[in-house]
Amino acid sequence: MRVAVPREIKPAEQRVGLVPAGATQLVRDGHEVFVETGAGEGSGFGDDAYTAAGAEVVDRTTVWERAELLVKVKEPAAEEYGFLRPDLTLFAYLHLAADRPLTEALLAAGTTAVAFETVRAGRILPLLQPMSEIAGRLAAQSAAHHLQSNAGGPGLLMGGVPGVAAAKVVVIGGGAVGTQAALMASGLMADVTVLDANGARIRELTDLLGHRARVLMSDEHVLEDEISGADVVIGAVLVPGAAAPKLVRREHLGILHDHALLVDVAIDQGGCFETSRPTTYDDPTFEVDGITHYCVANMPGAVPRTATRALANATTPYLRRLARGPEQALAADPEFAAGLNTAAGRIRHAGVAQAFADLPAQLG
């Protein structure tokens, strides 16, 4: 099969969908690999490394045109929609439930689209987890930075100092993102509270975090009480494949400190704050009703040398299976098949179908 790797074009996105070691494995498996010029530079992999691995380095148009199986990190941008076609299988982060234009483009083109973020392995989302862990850690780091006055914040040190209180950080959601955000924030000596609605997960987090954070069962009243006293609120809620629930609504902004910072890590899935909208590292924050929002949609893109390697560790085994034949690979493994989001002009994932009930779907 012809496997192709384009250069990412999303702002400040330096990750790449395949590392040279993965290219070597694919070539040894008998596949042809095409990599766009400069695709790996931001992650520390020059074109020579891909050539040495047996890949052919080509221009942007060629990489898309030759692809039978195209692997990238972030979803295709609007200027890439014209490359979509029915004989192409796309393997990437897609987050379609929050992106109607891309969903419509994939359906119109008849492209088979397999989303990293909905592939399952038991309770785990194995291709999402490494980026969730990185995003969680970056959420706490970014919050600490944006509390500083030189970054436009109120001038708070996340961990305080002896005799001066630490910043109060509330993390909504105790999955991979929330856990790592809580660990990082507590490591910075913040006053951390984690809210989750799953009793079993609350017990796990209590054991994991110990005395470093409070872990509370979330309901509407608890959420309001906790965020009203927070300096930072980190939204880390995920419903796999579906739009994120809006847990912090606009009316809640009125009960927040006037210097509070909202960090919405769920923004790829539409955000879990009603007032969120995607931002970029070039312009990461905005204000609504005087409350600062940080909603960068590709947070791990800021650490591509770490993130690309972590992502490749997870995705390359699945990519090799897809390269042997997408239909066979998905048919043989229902948990892998959970990654199928579109095919033959139909939505194939329940969460995406729920988000766009008027678009054609084929479930089950």
Q: Which residues are catalytic?
A: 95, 268
Q: How far apart are CA 266 and CA 272, in angstroms?
A: 6
**333: amino acid identity, one letter:** D
Q: Which residue has the tokens 């997870």?
A: 314
Eight-state DSSP code of residue 231: S
Pairing of strands 168-172, 112-115: unpaired
Quick check: 177 and 139 in contact, CB under 8 A? yes
Here the tokens at position 121 are: 């392995």
Contacts of 317 (CB under 8 A, 6+ apart): none
Quick check: 84 and 24 in contact, CB under 8 A? no
User: For 206, phi and psi rounded to 5 degrees?
Assistant: -60, -45
Here the tokens at position 225 are: 């009480």
Q: How many CB atoms lie within 10 A of CB 331?
A: 11
DSSP symbols for 141-160: HHHHHHTSGGGTS----TT-
The Cα-based distances of 336 to 71, 339, 363 in angstroms read 16, 6, 15
Q: How far apart are CA 213 and CA 91, in angstroms?
A: 37
DSSP symbols for 2-57: EEEEPPP-STT----S--HHHHHHHHHTT-EEEEETTTTGGGT--HHHHHHTT-EE
Here the tokens at position 283 are: 């312009």
The Cα-based distances of 255 to 145, 168, 194, 290, 360 in angstroms read 23, 15, 19, 12, 42
Q: How far apart are CA 239 and CA 266, in angstroms?
A: 10
Contacts of 188 (CB under 8 A, 6+ apart): 140, 144, 158, 159
